[in-house]
Structure formats: structure tokens, C-alpha cells
Amino acid sequence: MKTTRLAPGSASASKSSQACNAGNSLPGRETPDEPTLTPPLKWAGGKRWLVPYLRPIWEQHSHRRYVEPFCGGLAAALGLMPARALLNDVNPHLINFYRQVPRGLAVNIKMRNEEGTFYGHRSRFNQLIKLGAFQTAEAAQLFYYLNRTCFNGLCRFNQSGEFNVPFGSYQRINYAGDFGQYGPVFGHWSFTNSDLELLQIEPEDFIYADPPYDVEFTSYSAGGFSWEDQVRTAERLAAHSGPVVLSNQATTRIIKLYEQLGFGLSYLEAPRRISCTGDRSTASEVLALKL
Ligand SMILES: C[S@@+](CC[C@H](N)C(=O)[O-])C[C@H]1O[C@@H](n2cnc3c(N)ncnc32)[C@H](O)[C@@H]1O
């Protein structure tokens, strides 16, 4: 199997990687990125840093519909700006927020970086969840506020389904007054809230899949995403007839899984941005390609 190790934004890195195994070149960009919209939410595992590597691949397929089954904070989608996109995530609050934006989501609630306001808004958000009213503009505003103000922008729920991330105690937070600049973009994209297997993928679609990282050597499954979920994701992606790009942590078993399914592999050093432990060291990332 062809493999490549790259450094971000460096074409020469792909040359030096030829010692490790030539071929399957994945060009980084030497020119600065074009200005793009920044993701409106903080989201763990955002792939903004990967956009310079994804763009040259995407540019060859930009006539296709872009499908991201694990869209998270939209860092990749907003970096690539496809004209047509199907963006999916299992998190219903995230998808509700994206759906409310083109409907003219406005900020009416108090956006203040103080503990009392935070816990008041968190209680109201949890009340809306309990009432089944989480697909509303009010829930979207509260979700945005909690995302910016809570600890590390995390999104965690307890056994009863209540959002339970504590106050973040940041010095200063910038809150958007509205989301007008995102409206026309999100209005052209489709957002769904389902599992990969239920997604209505067309044979010609371009898929960029960025599932939760595989966590090897522990029974802990990141974000409830087990090893079985990694395997069924890989098999679903392998069965797709159009182009596929997958990113994940370069664990031994992920490498083996995608190699066995016939993907070409490239390696990158990923910055760790949001971590519960405060760990911001780099990690090895693998890109599995079937183009
Ligand atoms: C690494 S993040 C994606 C980040 C995204 N690529 C970005 O650039 O912002 C993985 C996402 O997968 C979602 N997820 C977890 N399990 C899922 C499932 N079974 N189906 C769909 N999405 C899932 C999580 O909610 C999370 O947002």
C-alpha cells in the first residue's frame, strides 16, 4: 500500500516522504488560504488545519455534491465552500443551530460571560430538551451561548440527557450579534441529523468523513463511537462508488482497517486544539483516500 508522510503546507514534505514510501502524493498548499468564513461554533476535532490538504483533492471533484457524514463544527465544509452539500451529524442541537441560521436566527437572549447568566441559560436549555422543544430558535440561541461560554466549548450530556458542561471562566468572549453572513451559505446546504447508514448518499457524491478519533488501547469509546462504529464506517465508505477521503487518528488498527479495504494512506501531524485534559501536543493523523 502506498503511504506518504507530510508536514502542513509544504510541498517539499511530500518529497522527503518518498523515503517512507513513494507515490500517492497529497499536495499541501504553499500559498496562503483564501479568506473563508470561520466556524460559528467551537467544536472538538475541528479540521480547519486540514483544509489546505483537502482543497487540492476537492478541487478535482468540486462539480460533485460534497457529503460530510460527521460534519461537527463545519471547519472543513466552510474551508472548502462546496456549492452543493449534505452535512450530517448525530448531535441534534448542532444541526438545529445550522438549520435556524438561514431562517434568520437572531440573538435575543442575554449574551454575558458571567456564571449566573450561564447557569440560568443552561437550565432553560435543559428545560427545552425536556419539553421536546430543542428544535427551535430559542434552543439554537442558547446552544450558541453555551458553546461559547462553557468550559472548552465542550458538548456533553449526562445520563438524563441534560447538558452538563460547567461555566468556562474565560476573560473575554466575543459573541456574534447575528449570523447573517452564514445564512446564504447554510441556506444552500442540506443538514441532516442521522447515522451514516441512514444518509441518502448518491453514487457520484464526494465524501469527506471525519468520525470521532479512534482511541486505541482503552475500552473508552470517544463520544460513544466504538470500534464497531469505526469498522462499519470504514465498510460503508469502502462501498461508496464516488471519491472518499477519511481522516482519523493514525492508530495501528485504523491503518490496518483502511489498508485492508484498499484505501491509499497519507500521514500528517495534527495539532490538538480542544482537549479535556489541556493536552495540546501534536498527534499523528491518517488520511485514507479512495479517489
Ligand atoms: C471529529 S468531529 C468532526 C469535525 C468536523 N470535521 C469539523 O471540521 O469541524 C466528529 C463528529 O462526529 C459526530 N458523530 C459522532 N457519532 C456519530 C454518528 N454515529 N453519526 C454521525 N455523527 C456522529 C460528533 O457529534 C462530532 O461532531
pLDDT tens digits, one per residue of 136-170: 999 999 999 999 999 999 999 998 889 999 999 88
- Vertex 110: Cα angle to 104 and 112 (nearest 5): 120
3-state secondary structure 194-260: CCHHHCCCCCCCEEEECCCCCCCCCCCCHHHCCHHHHHHHHHHHHHCCCCEEEEEECCHHHHHHHHH
Q: Pocket of ligand 1, candidates 41, 81, 87, 90: which has the most ligand atoms within 8 Å of its Cβ, to mutate?
A: 90
Q: Which domains does the chain have, with CATH numbers?
A: 3-90+181-290 (3.40.50.150), 106-177 (1.10.1020.10)
Q: Pocket of ligand 1, candidates 37, 58, 78, 89: which has the most ligand atoms within 8 Å of its Cβ, to mutate?
A: 89
Rounded to the nearest 5°, which phi and psi values hold at 129? Answer: -60, -45
Q: How far apart are CA 115 and CA 225, in angstroms?
A: 32
Q: Which residue reads 492508530 in cell numbers?
A: 251
Predicted structure pTM score: 0.87
Check residue 269 and give its pLDDT: 86
* Spacing, Cα 95 to ligand 1 middle (Å): 11
Check residue 270 and give its pLDDT: 78
SS3 245: strand
Check residue 16 and give its pLDDT: 29
Check residue 216 and give its pLDDT: 75
196 close to ligand 1 (CB < 6 Angstrom): yes
Report residues of the chain scoring pLDDT below 70.
1-35, 217-223, 272-283
Check residue 273 and give its pLDDT: 53
210 close to ligand 1 (CB < 6 Angstrom): yes
Q: Pocket of ligand 1, candidates 68, 70, 214, 286: which has the most ligand atoms within 8 Å of its Cβ, to mutate?
A: 70
Which protein residue's CA is at the shortest distance from atom 26 of ligand 1?
72
Check residue 171 and give its pLDDT: 87
* Spacing, Cα 116 to ligand 1 middle (Å): 30
